Chain A
Amino acid sequence: MAARTVRRATAAMATGAFALTAAACTNPGTDGAGSTGPKDSAVVGIAYEPDTLSPLLGYGKDGNSKIFDGLLAFDAGMKLTPALARELPKVSADGLTYTYALRSGVTFSDGEPFTAEDVVFTYRTILDPKTNNPSRTELDALKSVEAVGDDTVVFHLKYPYAPFAERTVHAIAPEHVAGGQDVNTGAFTTKPIGTGPYVLSSWSKGEKLTFQANPAYWNGAPAVKKFTMAIIKDDDVRATRLRAGDLDGAILPPNLAAGFADDKAKKTYAATTYDYRTVTLPTHNPVAGDTAVRGALDIAVDRQTMVDKILEGAGKPAYGPVPTDSPWFARGTERRHDLAGARKILDEAGWKPGADGVRAKNGVRASFPLWYLSGDKLRQDHALAYASDARKAGIEIKTQAGTWEVIEPRMKTDAVLAGGGAPGDPDFDQYLLLKSTLAGDGFNNMAWYDNEAVDRALEDGRRTNDPAKRKAAYDTVQRELVDDPGYTFLTHIDHLYVVNDSWDGLTTQTEPHDHGLAAGPWWNVETWKPKNTGDTKK
């Protein structure tokens, strides 16, 4: 009996396994390879996945959230345009009150109307300390928000904050859905409902997000009816799946994007960015905190070679968080690459070359560690190039790889190869990087930079709405950085996207460091138009 039981079980197991395998094998011809699918659907490969889809927890804070709309939105030129608001906000003379008139007739994808209460709910919930929103700091200026009637929302600020309107591209959540749930773990965080051009059909975490066009979208139903974002962390796998036809578009590093240059059916889009790589020069390090060393490093470094060799041309030299092609960039603050000049600065400041070529002053060797995030090839390349340039001027930089857990406790005295960048207002990056009161506050002002003139100009710049005064303030900041650099900015990195040439209307915006699903040519997939296929196919 026992033997028979075992035998039967074995037989059943074997049959089952073979049946499964056989069933699985009957259908191999229909694999994604080669098929591009109908033009009213698009599949793109991205490297990052959102942590949450709830605006209350920070999703869609920079707009382009597909599922939601903000009161305002950025157009292709990064200009603010009205979205859920009917027009740009009215700002009071003291800069403390922003009044938005809302668009009427807008509904959420579940059919419920959008009202001023939804706006108030969204912002109030974000400001609530019990809400686990790690981006709350961005709304620091906001004191309170109130609805006046059904179609007007008024924001009151704690202090005048010129870029506030740019914060109101933040996605708006429906109170009738999210209001009754736990804001941090409710179903809304994974099954969102919004007013946006797309409706989420499914989110398979770690794999993909799929969207269906919202036929009732207030700004017209999108022509691309089905939109899929595949989350593929590995660059090579992403490139292979793009080549195999599984994807219609993907973000790729420069070397892999170059492989598609000859492919007539695909186009490469290079998005300019605010995505900088910089070396923090901590004030509390006796070498990196020395003004002469900082100034010498600033001109000893060969930025153009980094762009050419590390980025393969897809980027620009950076002299501060503001990229050189931004209207906010202070002309004339470009640094020349001048090794002789760097040596002269160090000589004059008393940093004398030692026997091994490394300089010293008053017994202090011109040497400090530079940390980079382990596994980040781009940062590693930048760190090594920087150390090699510094060595030529007589400064020894010891590069070390580590995770943030290792790096963070050392940030006060050790240099870090950091990255960041938020497009739009010059306040965003510069205030967080340079304001002395933010020294060591989380990952803000990692260099513990402390410069009174910069502090004052940063406050002036955010507290006035007068464009000329603002420009003057940020020019001051950038010029101070030439004389007293607390960081060595190295490059701004272009983001490259390769996309099937099947649609019209593709553009890119100026992109931030964190290129999640809001960036890329699909930032406005809702306005893509399928190309006439007649001439391409026949």
Chain B
Amino acid sequence: MSRRLPWGAMARMTGRRALAAVPVLLGVTLAVFAVAEASPFDPVKAYAGTAGLTASQENLDQLRHNLGVDRPLLTRWWEWITSALTGDLGDSSVMRRPVADVVTERLGWSVLLAATAFLVAIALGTLLGVLAGRRRGGLLDRTVSALAYTLEAAPAFWLGLLAIWFFALRLGVLPAGGLTDTASDTVTLDQVARHLVLPALVLGVSQLPWFFLYVRQGVGDALDEDPVRGARARGLAERTVLTGHALRSGMLPMLTLIGSRVPELITGALLVETVFSWPGIAAATVQAATAVDFPLLAALTVLATAAVLLGNLLSDLLYGLADPRVGFDG
């Protein structure tokens, strides 16, 4: 049982992936610049806001020049990428602040939300999956499966609005949005915890069906396989059979799922943060996109891409660990 972890192989795979990530990230930033440039949104209008409606054309032209958005796309992208590599991420026009400040201030809240939601999804999905997989076709299985398919089809923002309506408006037990109570101007642990419940639950529940269905399938299949039948024949306790044998092989497909769900999690967070006024980077992404705020948008997209790549790497590493036959070939 006590096999040493294959650190060398894991490190080599991580290194290969890191090298491959460089062109991907470069391409993504260029694509973001190009897509934003092609969008009908005007960064100057977005910057000026309502004041832009009474500003003179001269004033607007000056703004366009100051913001640097009157120069060609490739020039701007090259300037951004070169200064980003030296650590200067530029200034966000929509937030009126350096991009680095915006990201550091908001990243933590997004990670907290996404991580909590992910844990909720994995924990609940696994638990329910095992219970349902154990007796496929049983009452619990049929109820939860039906629910899971419904949830799979439900958009996260709709779930969010539903949760607000029920828990915040009808029952009045949980706050409808924000990081803290409206009247409070300090961020305290209990307030954040209370405000985290609904968004994390909604985001978690929206991701839950995939984990549930995978685990249910895996566990169900494993229960029919020879090793499990053998274990049962040897008279092992049902609990040991379930956790030691069925769950172990049933969990395998879920490990890949963890990585591949990261993009879904990010888009889900985008909607959930907006619905719940959660002050994270996903909410800032929406603002940055509609305001054609290149530096902020590019930085956030790089972050999201990196998260996806990391997720994939993580699931491949876990898979390799769990099933040595897969290895770390990358």
Contact = CB atoms under 8 A, between A and B. Distances in A.
To the question of whether A and B form a pair in one complex, the answer is yes
Interface of A: 1-7, 10, 13-14, 16-18, 20-21, 23-25, 27-28, 31-33, 37, 41, 43, 51-52, 54, 57-58, 129-130, 132, 134-138, 140, 182, 184-185, 187, 189-190, 201-202, 204-208, 210, 212, 226, 228, 230, 237, 240-241, 244, 246-247, 403-406, 420, 422, 432, 438, 440-444, 513-514, 516
The 9 closest A-B pairs by CB, nearest first: A134-B48, A17-B119, A210-B185, A14-B123, A134-B51, A405-B40, A185-B91, A24-B193, A137-B56
A16 B197 CA distance: 14
A51 B49 CA distance: 8
B322 A189 contact: no
Interface stretch (B29-37, B57-65, B140-148, B216-224): B57-65
**Chain B interface, DSSP helix/strand/loop, else mixed:** helix
Interface stretch (B12-20, B72-80, B242-250, B299-307): B242-250
Nearest to B320: A2
Contact of A443 (B2, B54, B194): B54
B87 interface: no
Nearest to A34: B172
Contacts of B243: 7
Contacts of A514: 50
A441 B60 CA distance: 10
A311 to B, nearest CB: 21
Contacts of A206: 277, 279, 283, 287
A5 B321 contact: yes
Interface of B: 1-3, 40-42, 45, 47-60, 62-63, 66-67, 91-92, 94-98, 116, 119-120, 122-124, 126-127, 169, 172-179, 181-183, 185, 190, 193-194, 196-197, 200-201, 243-244, 247-248, 251, 255, 277, 279, 283, 287, 318, 321-324
Interface residues of A, dominant DSSP: mixed
A442 B1 contact: no
B176 A237 contact: yes
A230 B173 CA distance: 20
Contact of A20 (B45, B97, B116, B248): B116
B208 to A, nearest CB: 12
Contacts of B122: 10, 13-14, 17
19 contacts: A4-B1, A6-B248, A6-B255, A17-B124, A24-B197, A27-B193, A32-B182, A43-B182, A138-B54, A182-B91, A185-B92, A204-B279, A207-B177, A208-B178, A226-B183, A228-B183, A240-B169, A440-B57, A443-B54
Given A1-B2, A184-B91, A132 B182 contact: no
Nearest to A516: B50
A504 B287 CA distance: 39
Nearest to A185: B91
A515 to B, nearest CB: 10
A184 B197 contact: no
A509 B98 CA distance: 37
Q: Which of B45, B96, B173 has the most CB of A within 10 A?
A: B96
Nearest to B39: A405
Output the residue of A17, A140, A230, A516 with the most chain B CB within 10 A.
A17
A13 B283 contact: no
Contacts of A58: 51
Nearest to B286: A206
Contacts of A404: 45
Contacts of A10: 122-123, 126, 251
Nearest to B277: A207
B322 A6 contact: yes
A516 B51 CA distance: 12
B183 A41 contact: yes
B322 A21 contact: no
A444 B279 contact: no
Contact of A3 (B96, B175, B196, B244): B244
A52 B94 CA distance: 9
Contacts of B91: 182, 184-185
Nearest to B119: A17
